């Protein structure tokens, strides 16, 4: 049974854990929560999220209401955990499945041992450049807008922390290798960039096949509501 949440709690301030659906933007999820609350409370309420997920990613999205929107920066700064897949042997312009494969690379030299060993290069504090198709601003313009206009400017690197990088499964088929992984990392880490750089370190190419955020700080996806179930909690 889904526990009901009194309306007064949303007004005073509430931290909601939502399992963001595939192909939804983070704003789509916030908009849905805001609209549902407005319908039930008959008033406007501050609603915001702590940490954007790409449309092709699923998983934990922290949504704050009322006075708790003041804690968004606090939640955004906490460690994140992700699971997903890297596709080794091919790249895409966006380093994920938003775009079609643009180049294929050799994989014959890549062994399971090499894949596991290469994770050591990406554990600890590393320099990482955001993906070209990202919301990072370059001279006041979003990088993805420049990329769509054909500007392939390499974005400046930043320091990020990857505390854990675990290879969970390796599947080889045809001219591609699918690697299932788990990563615990700091704020500002791009898993698409990790996929891109991991492929390069293997003397090949790679892109992100799937991504799911499973944890933010002490908040776990296990405690998250689907959008449909969230609607049922409002009393």
Q: What is the pLDDT of residues 89-131, one digit of tens each?
A: 999 998 999 999 999 999 999 999 999 999 999 999 999 988 7
Long-range CB pairs of 151-159 (<8 Å, 24+ gap) are 154/129, 155/129, 155/130, 155/131, 156/129, 157/127, 157/128, 157/129, 158/127, 158/128, 158/129, 158/130, 158/188, 159/125, 159/126, 159/127, 159/128
Residues classed as catalytic: 54
Which has more confidence, 221 or 156? Answer: 221
Fold for the domain defined by 7-77+219-233? Pseudouridine synthase (3.30.2350)
Where do the structural domains in the chain lie, given as residue ranges?
7-77+219-233, 80-216
Longest dimension (CA), the chain: 62
Query: Bridge-partner residues for 47, per DSSP?
Result: 65
- The answer to pTM > 0.85 is yes
- Looking at the domain that runs over 80-216, which CATH code has it been given? 3.30.2350.10
């Amino acid at each position: 049974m889904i526990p009901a949440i009194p309306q007064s709690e949303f007004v005073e301030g509430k931290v909601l854990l939502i399992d963001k659906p595939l192909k939804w933007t983070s704003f789509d999820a916030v908009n849905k929560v805001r609209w549902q609350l407005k319908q039930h409370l008959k008033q406007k309420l501050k609603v915001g999220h702590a940490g954007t997920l790409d449309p092709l990613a699923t998983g934990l999205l922290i949504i704050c209401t009322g006075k708790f929107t003041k804690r968004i920066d606090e939640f955004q700064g906490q460690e994140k955990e992700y699971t997903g897949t890297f596709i080794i042997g091919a790249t895409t312009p966006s380093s994920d499945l938003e775009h079609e494969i643009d180049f294929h690379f050799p994989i014959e030299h890549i062994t399971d041992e090499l894949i596991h060993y290469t994770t050591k290069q990406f554990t600890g504090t590393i320099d990482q450049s955001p993906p070209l198709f990202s919301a990072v601003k370059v001279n006041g313009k979003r990088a993805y807008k420049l990329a769509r206009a054909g500007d392939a400017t390499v974005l400046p690197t930043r320091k990020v922390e990857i505390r854990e990088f675990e290879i969970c499964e390796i599947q080889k088929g045809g001219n591609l290798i699918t690697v299932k992984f788990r990563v615990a990392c700091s704020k500002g880490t791009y898993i698409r960039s990790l996929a891109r750089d991991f492929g390069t370190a293997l003397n090949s190419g790679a892109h992100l096949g799937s991504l799911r955020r499973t944890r933010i700080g002490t908040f776990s996806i296990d405690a998250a509501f689907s959008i449909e179930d969230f609607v049922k909690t409002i009393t």
